[in-house]
Amino acid sequence: MASQHGWTGWQPQPAASALPSSSLASGAAATPSGFGGIAQSLAAGLGASFGNIGHRQWLYGTYLIRGQVTFCAAPGGLGKTSFSAALAIELAANKSVLGNKIWANKPKILYLNGEDDKEEMARRMWAFCLLHQISEQDIQRLSLLGSDDWRTKELAFMRNERGSSMVNEGAFLRFEQLLAAAEPDVVILDPLISFCGEKLPTNRPVRRGRCPNCTLSDRKPLD
């Protein structure tokens, strides 16, 4: 893989006396990096600058920020899915129910559940909507896929190859295609372990009840 990205192999470092005097004077490291260029100085860019610092692009309270990943982790049965579903409905309906400010302007939500089928998730979401007087028309920007959907089943981001966990590049490609089609502002993967693939090595077991939900916020600018 390294050779495909231009690595030419290990090269011996030249003695200090062999370096050009101009490089030594400037403090730049003139040691070949193995990637065909001169390595930059390790001290470059270490200073702290307060110029051009943008505001955080919050989407939902101080939980979701555009361009970042958020994890919701808790022991089993404490309401990770309930909270994630409520969050998705609030954003889609542009209605704050749990007391968190909605910063985004009419965001589109993609909710992927790898444990429950679409009917069960719709049932749970409907109960939340009935309680808080949210109609089906209010959540038209919500896209929902359950564990029974073929698109969800294709999203196994890890695969087992000869006892080792490997990245499933095909699953990431299909995920990118799904994002391109749905164009969501927020993506919820619930629970994250359901999208890690089947029959992975068990040398580092994960307690299923403690597996987090994962929320991804797209990098599109706020309206």
Instruction: Point out the least confidently predicted range of 36-50, 67-81, 122-136.
Output: 36-50
Give CA separation, 7 vs 31, 135, 148, in Å.
Answer: 15, 57, 44
Query: What is the percent of the chain with per-residue pLDDT over 70, rounded to a whole number?
Result: 70
The Cα–Cα gap between 163 and 114 comes to 23
pLDDT at 60: 94
**Structure token pair of residue 213:** 């939900």
Tell me: pLDDT of 211 over 60: no
pLDDT at 98: 94
Reduce the DSSP state of residue 13 to 3 states and report it.
Answer: coil
8-state DSSP, 201: -
* Pure H helices in the chain: 21-26, 80-93, 118-131, 150-153, 169-182
Report which of residues 11 and 66 the model is more confident about. 66
pLDDT at 212: 59
- pTM for the whole thing? 0.71
pLDDT digits (tens, 9 = 90+) for 113-148: 999 999 999 999 999 999 999 999 999 999 999 999
Strands (E), the chain: 58-60, 64-65, 69-72, 109-113, 142-145, 158-161, 164-167, 186-190, 213-217
The Cα–Cα gap between 121 and 131 comes to 16
Neighbours of 156 (CB within 10 A): 19
Query: How do beta strands 164-167 and 186-190 pair?
Result: unpaired
The Cα–Cα gap between 128 and 79 comes to 13
Nearest one of 124, 118, 120, 123 to 143, comparing CA atoms: 118
The Cα–Cα gap between 211 and 190 comes to 9
Tell me: pLDDT of 89 over 90: yes
**Residues sharing a CB contact under 8 Å with residue 5, sequence separation 6 or more, in sequence order:** 35
Q: What is the mean pLDDT of residues 147-152?
A: 96
* Pure H helices in 94-187: 118-131, 150-153, 169-182
